[in-house]
Amino acid sequence: MKILNLDANFRDLFDHTSDLIHFLDMEGRILDVNPAWAATMGVRPGEAIGRDIYEFIDRQSHDRYKKYRSQIVTGEGIRDAEFEFIGADGHPIIVEGQIGCFYEAGEAVYTRGVFRNVTSKRLAEIALGKNQKRLSAFLNSAPSAVIIIDEHQTVLEWNPKAETIFGFPAEEVLNHPLADIIIPLQFREAHARGMAHFLRTGEGPVLNKTIEVSALHKDGYEFPISLSISSVNIEGKWLFIAFISDITEYKQLQEEIILNQAALMQSRVLDDKKDQFLSMASHELKTPLTSLKAYIQMMERSVSAGSPLPPQFLGKASEYIKKLENLISDLLDVSKIRADKMAYNIQRFRFDQFLVETLESLQYTTATHHIVLEQNAHAICAGDKARIEQVIQNLISNAIKFSPEAAKVSVGSQLKNNEIEVFVRDQGIGVGAAQLDHLFERFYRVDDNEMKFPGLGIGLFISREIIERHHGKLWVESEPGKGSTFYFSLPAAGSSNSEFPN
Ligand code: ADP
């Protein structure tokens, strides 16, 4: 089968062109291939001769190739076509070119194919097509909002998650300036400044890190987002890609955790206070009990010795019993307040008279201090006398307790804007500003005093509850080292001059 007779010059061209050339007989068997063809297909030139060309063409291209070749043979014109060949190692080789037919005496003798290898070009194009598909698959399914803007802040990309998070459908925002859409009014200027700075200097402090800011929803409300922005330069123009997540729930959770932690700490502090309270309470109850026991033993000894009872023993014993009674009833009061079970027996009474009597009886309880009534309001009070007496007693006993160096406690009442305002003033140790607000809390005692002064930290808590239940107020003014003045107010129910004439 010596159909081909290439002279030297054509042989030179045949051997050295980068195009792929093959000659086929009319049955499709290879008559010859040039070195470029053989190298591309991964065979030696001689190896291909005599083989069926379809061994080197992808199955899916067989029919098209056959049809194309027969069209060429019947003279239907020569035009470029593209086929997928298969290399010896099975790899696809995409070729583009033409087939021509050689005739002798009107008979088709062979066909020649001249093709270019366009595999890399086509694969790159296919890959690009696939990349675009991959990119849109990524944008469509991304769990974050992905927004791409250009240097003018024009929105170029707005994925479905951005639609969900911000409430704007893509068609409403694409090609619009981003700042007008999702940046809250108060941040727009800073955003524009940051952008201008970046374009001028290439520096962007918020780029390539995750920050938390607030954004605007289509419905007008602001909500927290986490945002990370990257910049890319494509052909001299900057693009900014923002990845955004709505962190509203995360923030709420964070707040809840902080609140829970605060509550936990508070309850721990309260637990500590309770423990302290228990040891203080045991100590406070034990002290008068020990003294009481001592006096009773002394009285027993006197009785068994047949000697008369020293008169002050009974007085002392009942003083300690009173102290115990007061402590126990304070403790019971705290429980009643907690259970909202404190009962009040409201009656109208002359306040000035009541104050004089109360101070007289309190004066008996102290040998160290003189209780001085400086002024007294002629007013009627509607309230629980015993409970208000309890408040005054508590304030005066504190005034005495916390002014060991002083000898006087001043008390007074006056009528002010239809309220009876009472003060109890001492010249004692005073209280620092930081502690003042806490004095009325349950179990609170100023730390420095705890060791030096007895007490349970519940007297002021009970007193404030009693006064507030009377629709009044209890407050304090104090200066460390100078003394304290406790005030309380009660609504006046009229003037004592008219209702209770002297
Ligand atoms: P207690 O006196 O039993 O400790 P209170 O509730 O009456 O409890 O008082 C709470 C705390 O307030 C006291 O422990 C003390 O630190 C402070 N305090 C109360 N009254 C005075 C006062 N007149 N001068 C200085 N500190 C006071």
Q: Which of 298, 323, 331, 333 has the alpha carbon at shortest distance from 312?
A: 298
Task: Quote the ligand 1 centre to 458 CA distance (angstroms).
Answer: 9
Tell the residue nearest (CA) to atom 13 of ligand 1: 445
Q: What are phi and psi of 26, to 5 degrees?
A: -70, -10
Give the pLDDT score at 497: 58
Nearest to 173 by CA among 186, 159, 185: 159
**H-state helical runs in 202-310:** 248-304
Confidence of residue 76 (pLDDT cuts 50, 70, 90): confident
Return the best residue to mutate from 337, 369, 431 for the ligand 1 pocket (most ligand atoms within 8 A of CB): 431
- Interval 129-150: pLDDT, tens: 777 787 788 888 878 899 999 9
User: Which of 330, 371, 398, 408 is the pocket-test mutation for ligand 1 (most atoms within 8 Å of CB)?
Assistant: 398
Task: Output the pLDDT for position 456.
Answer: 86
Which stretch, 112-121, 138-147, 280-289, 358-367, has highest mean pLDDT? 358-367
Instruction: Find the 198 Cα to ligand 1 centroid distance in Å.
Output: 62
Q: How many helices (H) and strands (E) are present in the chain, helices listed first?
A: 16, 17
41: Cβ–Cβ under 8 A, 6 or more apart, which residues?
33, 48, 56, 85, 87, 88, 93
* Bridging pattern class, strands 370-375 and 408-416: parallel
Cα 398 to ligand 1 centre (Å): 6
Please give the backbone phi and psi of residue 501, each rounded to the nearest 5 degrees, phi first.
-65, 140
For ligand 1, whether the C-beta of 456 sits within 6 Å is yes
* Substitution candidate for ligand 1 out of 287, 439, 458 with most atoms within 8 A of CB: 439
Q: Which residues contact residue 285 at a Cβ distance below 8 angstroms, ignoring those fewer than 6 apart?
A: 324, 327, 328
The whole-number pLDDT of residue 502 equals: 45
Instruction: Kindly list the structural domains of the chain, giving each domain's residue range(s) and its CATH number in brackets, ordered by start.
Output: 8-123 (3.30.450.20), 142-246 (3.30.450.20), 251-338 (1.10.287.130), 347-491 (3.30.565.10)
Find out whether the beta carbon of 445 lies less than 6 Å from any atom of ligand 1: yes
Average pLDDT, integer, range 246-267:
91
Residue 260 is encoded by which pair of tokens?
């829970």
CA of 484 to the centre of ligand 1 (A): 10
- Contacts with 183 (C-beta within 8 Å, 6 or more apart), sequence order: 191, 215, 216
Contact, 309 vs 299, CB < 8 A?
Answer: yes
**Closest by Cα among 349, 416, 418, 411 to 386:** 349
Residue pLDDT, tens place only, 176-233: 998 888 999 998 888 888 888 988 888 888 887 788 899 999 999 999 998 888 888 8
Q: Given the DSSP bridges, would you call strands 473-479 and 483-495 parallel, antiparallel or unpaired?
A: antiparallel
DSSP secondary structure string, 297-327? HHHHHHHHTTPPPPHHHHHHHHHHHHHHHHH
* Mean of pLDDT over the chain: 88
CA of 460 to the centre of ligand 1 (A): 7
Is any atom of ligand 1 closer than 6 Å to the C-beta of 457? yes
Q: How far apart are the first and last CA of the chain?
A: 153
The whole-angstrom separation of Cα 277 and Cα 262 is: 22
Ligand 1 and 399: CB distance under 6 A = yes
Cα angle vertex 256, ends 250, 257, to 5°? 90
| Per-residue confidence (pLDDT) for residue 119, from 0 to 100 | 82
Q: How far apart are CA 16 and CA 13, in angstroms?
A: 5
User: What is the 358 CA–ligand 1 centroid distance (Å)?
Assistant: 20
Q: What is the pLDDT of residues 12-62, one digit of tens each?
A: 888 899 899 999 999 999 999 999 999 999 898 788 999 999 999 988 889
pLDDT at 123 over 60: yes
